[in-house]
Amino acid sequence: KAGVTQTPRYLIKTRGQQVTLSCSPISGHRSVSWYQQTPGQGLQFLFEYFSETQRNKGNFPGRFSGRQFSNSRSEMNVSTLELGDSALYLCASSLYGTDSSGNTIYFGEGSWLTVV
Amino acid sequence: EDQVTQSPEALRLQEGESSSLNCSYTVSGLRGLFWYRQDPGKGPEFLFTLYSAGEEKEKERLKATLTKKESFLHITAPKPEDSATYLCAAGGATSGTYKYIFGTGTRLKVLA
């Protein structure tokens, strides 16, 4: 079956701009979660959506937002970009959510964002 | 403070030399302890979830165990293709707030 698809794979933005990243989960999966990975901070949980509702949220400022559509596809938006937002943004999907038992979580390849 | 700490940061093994990676956690209301493998330039690959102390799970040369304070990933007779960064994460919930915290990983290099 097709895996988790993230677009775009690479992008460069200027400080102060905004960016939207897209994630298509595995067919049938209703949970989509987003993560930021940087060399300094490692992998950090941003938020999770389940059936179009934000279910869990990490400790990131309000500039980071997301949404999920009825077909489970999800988008993540970062407004007023800062240099420190340069990172690999990963999306993962699962059937029941990260906090559910008996669940396998599948990650996409990520979107590399560079802010200049 | 909720925290996940992995050790060692890096590990070099000869092919066939078994070892263990450690993941210590202090996360309230543990819902699950997760292990992932990540290859350079790729997203993490899910390996295991452990839910309660005493639980063990195995997959090929990997075996994960869980106690109330730490988890171990045992690698038996590793091969060069096991070289990767191994990440653990702990998910927990208190007062309706869910946290999902990753460790910084162990970079494993297996030499032929």
Lowest mean pLDDT among A55-64, A74-83, B12-21: A55-64
List of E strands, B15-69? 19-26, 30-38, 45-50, 56-59, 62-66
As a whole number, the mean pLDDT across chain A is: 93
| Pairwise CA distance, residues A75 & B17, whole Å | 44
pLDDT digits (tens, 9 = 90+) for B83-101: 999 999 998 887 777 788 9
* pLDDT band at residue A102 under the 50/70/90 scheme: low
* pLDDT band at residue A14 under the 50/70/90 scheme: very high
Residue A43 pLDDT exceeds 70:
yes
Residue A72 pLDDT exceeds 80:
yes
Alpha helices in chain B (DSSP H): none
pLDDT recorded at residue A76 = 98
Q: Taking CB atoms and an 8 Å cutoff, what residues of chain B touch A104?
A: 46
Q: Taking CB atoms and an 8 Å cutoff, what residues of chain A touch B34?
A: 105
8 Å CB contact between B87 and B44: yes
Residue A104 pLDDT exceeds 90:
no
| Pairwise CA distance, residues A87 & B33, whole Å | 25
| pLDDT mean over B3-31 | 95
Question: Which residues sit opposite B111 in a β-bridge?
Answer: B14
| pLDDT mean over A96-108 | 81
- Considering only CB atoms, A99 lies closest to which of B87, B98, B105, namely B98
Residue B100 sits at the chain A interface (C-beta within 8 Å): yes
Higher pLDDT, A103 or A28: A28
pLDDT recorded at residue B94 = 78
Instruction: Find how far residue A36's CA is from the centre of its chain.
Output: 8
pLDDT recorded at residue B97 = 77
| pLDDT mean over B61-86 | 97
Q: Taking CB atoms and an 8 Å cutoff, what residues of chain B touch A23?
A: none
Nearest chain B residue to A108 by CA: give it.
Answer: B43
Higher pLDDT, B98 or A60: A60
List of E strands, chain A? 5-7, 10-13, 19-24, 31-38, 42-50, 53-57, 64-68, 74-78, 87-94, 106-107, 111-115
pLDDT digits (tens, 9 = 90+) for B18-68: 999 999 999 888 889 999 999 998 999 999 999 999 999 999 999 999 999
